[in-house]
Amino acid sequence: MAEENKGLDVKKPGSLIVGGGNRKGLEEPSQQEDFIIPRAKLLQALSPEVVEHPDKFKPGMIINSLTLEVLPETFIPVFKFTNWIRFNPRNAKDQNYDPAYGPGDIIWRSKDPLDPRVIAESKFGEDGSNPLATKFLNFFAMFPGVDMPVIVSFSKTSFKAGKRLLTLAQFATKDGQAIDLFGRKYRLGVKQEVNDAKQMYFVLTVDPGDFVPAEDLDGLAALWERFHAKPIQVHEEAAEEEIQEA
């Protein structure tokens, strides 16, 4: 039986409404795979938005990949999922370039840590070379004031921030009691770094914030129930335009 939108109404934080309810034009039930969840995109100097619209977008901004709106600093992670993706190099002269795919195309993706491709291609080479596949630590999240969920992903140079978030959440308590992942807010920030070639780039940072008000927890729990056990289709899942990875 297809999972339906049965009018689940989650208005806090933000005013997210998942499901048609009685809204005209949205009467037909929608399945999970019908949704594309935007991601929090950290802009770099080579990001298309910056290159094409330098008057509007600047390196270091964090935007909603679907609406292109700048995201607030505060977010609430609802649940976590990990995946691995092997992207084709953007440079056709790269020794790992696969001519069967276009530059930057996804060659394969997996959520299974025991997948032979993950085991073989997600580790650093003996010479210190980068893994062929990229590991993503993803958090399905809500940004207060934003009307839709957003995926906050940590990979490559921002992976440390993802590990920090996971560690803070794993040991988070309130009044001596462990709390759910969505029981606390966090602040998503950006810092500038410089690689060995003296090129500047930006990475994500995470810091703990306030606890989520009790009146918001039921709505977040409903959101967790609606989405956590099903595959998530992430908008514009692509290799980041990080200068130091070129």
DSSP string, the chain: --------B--SSTT-B-S-TT-TT--S---GGG--B-BEEEP-TT-HHHHH-TTT--TT-EEETTT-PBPPSEEEEEEEEEEEEEEPPSSTTSTT--TTS-TT-EEEEES-TT-HHHHHHSS--TTSPPPSEEEEEEEEEE-TT-SS-EEEEE-GGGHHHHHHHHHHHHT-EETTEE--GGGEEEEEEEEEEE-TTS-EEEEEEEEEEEEPPHHHHHHHHHHHHHHTTS---BTT------GGG-
In a domain, 12, yes or no: no
Is residue 207 one of the residues assigned to a domain? Answer: yes
The pLDDT value given to residue 224: 94
- Residue 129 within any structural domain of the chain: yes
Give a yes or no: residue 8 inside a domain.
no
Q: What's the domain range around 161? A: 32-245
Q: How confident is the model at residue 229 (pLDDT cuts 50, 70, 90)?
A: confident
Check residue 21 and give its pLDDT. 58
| Average pLDDT estimate for 201-213 | 96
- Return the percentage of the chain with pLDDT > 90, whole number: 69
Does pLDDT of 230 surpass 50? Answer: yes
pLDDT score at 199: 86
Selection from 109-113, 232-236, 240-244 with the highest mean pLDDT = 109-113
Is residue 127, in this structure, part of any structural domain at all? yes
- pTM of the model as a whole: 0.86
CB burial of 84-96 (b: ≥16 within 10 Å; e: otherwise) equals bbbbbbbeeeeee
- For the chain, the average pLDDT equals 86
Q: Is 13 part of any domain? A: no
Number of folded domains in the chain?
A: 1
Q: Is residue 104 part of a domain?
A: yes
Is residue 189 in some structural domain?
yes
